């Protein structure tokens, strides 16, 4: 049995679409279930889920309400409730390609010694083309963009699957534990994040292998507000705050290493800023500097 786990909070605009994209997969419906965890939504999410259930009665859909607010709580609830040996986590504001489930299943069947995998994440801009100031690094930040080519491979150093497009053997959670509730985002608050990073760091430390699968594609919906200044500010500040919590929970030495890494990243940021200025694209460089500054000040704890 395969369990597709979707955790949702106030995404009535998108939830039917992601459920439908799963139902339209080229994979037998009798061999998978959808586990939907509603994390206290106050919009029309329940009605949209009911509409999907009526339209696709042949899909096994099990729904749960997680009253503890936060994506880590919701993902942990989905993990506990899932009946499958393979758990595929899909974001609630996305759609997947028709080969999505079959791609993961075929991979795990062929690779019994590999315990997790993730695929590409492409932004789906609701209002046309992406902004002129967008760079590779900002795209990854704001849209969760992830693409490492069209061949199956190991993830590049210090990279890991995006939390909205990742699959695990159930044994992973027995070996490294569940998502850290101190790191997951809570409701509309973006002051914390990185529970996916924490899981994959623990997996790497334990020698548990994971792979990049180009055939399992997720298209992430990007509304206009995610391209505006306020959202950018909250997300970048949240990264720094989350990294401080995550590394200090490991050790003071880990936190010190993260501070040193931040200095190195500043060097790269300033080089890129100069490059964009030379190219007469100062907005791109300025956005990168703003990104780095927000991360740094929250990592250090400056107000």
Residue 246 has pLDDT above 80, yes or no: yes
- State the burial class of residue 217 (Cβ atoms within 10 Å of its Cβ: 0-12, 13-18, 19+): buried
Token digits of residue 77? 């609830």
User: Which pLDDT band holds residue 132 (cuts at 50, 70, 90)?
Assistant: confident
pLDDT at residue 284, rounded to an integer: 93
CA–CA gap between residue 74 and residue 181 (Å, rounded): 9
250-281 pLDDT tens trace:
899 999 999 999 999 999 999 999 999 999 99
Token digits of residue 114? 């590999």
Residue 193 has pLDDT above 60, yes or no: no
pTM comes to: 0.89
- The overall average pLDDT reported for the chain is 92
Token digits of residue 265? 């990243």
User: Which pLDDT band holds residue 191 (cuts at 50, 70, 90)?
Assistant: very low
Angle at 259 between CA 253 and CA 263, to 5 degrees: 145
CA–CA gap between residue 114 and residue 202 (Å, rounded): 15
pLDDT at residue 192, rounded to an integer: 46
C-alpha dihedral (181, 186, 256, 178), degrees to nearest 10: 20
């Amino acid at each position: 049995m395969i369990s597709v786990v979707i955790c949702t909070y106030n995404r009535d605009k998108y939830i039917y679409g992601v459920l439908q994209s799963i139902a339209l997969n080229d994979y037998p419906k009798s061999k998978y279930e959808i586990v939907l965890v509603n994390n206290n939504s106050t919009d029309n999410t329940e009605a949209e889920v009911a509409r999907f259930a009526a339209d696709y009665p042949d899909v096994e859909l099990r729904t749960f309400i997680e009253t503890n607010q936060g994506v880590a709580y919701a993902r942990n609830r989905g993990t506990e409730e899932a009946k499958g040996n393979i758990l595929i986590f899909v974001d609630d504001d996305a759609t997947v390609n028709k080969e999505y489930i079959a791609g993961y299943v075929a991979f795990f069947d062929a690779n019994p010694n590999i315990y997790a995998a993730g695929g590409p994440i492409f932004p789906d801009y609701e209002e046309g083309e992406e902004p002129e100031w967008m760079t590779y690094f900002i795209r990854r930040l704001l849209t969760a963009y992830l693409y490492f080519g069209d061949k199956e491979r190991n993830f590049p150093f210090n990279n890991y699957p995006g939390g909205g497009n990742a699959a695990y053997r159930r044994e992973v959670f027995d070996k490294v534990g569940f998502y850290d509730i101190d790191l997951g985002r809570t409701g509309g608050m973006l002051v914390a994040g990185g529970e996916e990073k924490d899981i994959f760091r623990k997996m790497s430390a334990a020698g548990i292998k994971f792979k990049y699968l180009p055939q399992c594609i997720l298209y992430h919906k990007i509304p206009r507000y995610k391209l505006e200044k306020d959202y950018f500010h909250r997300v970048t500040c949240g990264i720094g705050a989350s990294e401080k919590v995550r590394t200090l929970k490991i050790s003071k030495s880990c936190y010190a290493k993260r501070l040193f890494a931040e200095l190195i990243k500043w060097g790269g940021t300033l080089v890129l800023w100069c490059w964009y200025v030379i190219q007469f694209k100062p907005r791109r460089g300025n956005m990168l500097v703003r990104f780095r500054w927000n991360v740094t000040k929250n990592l250090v704890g400056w107000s």
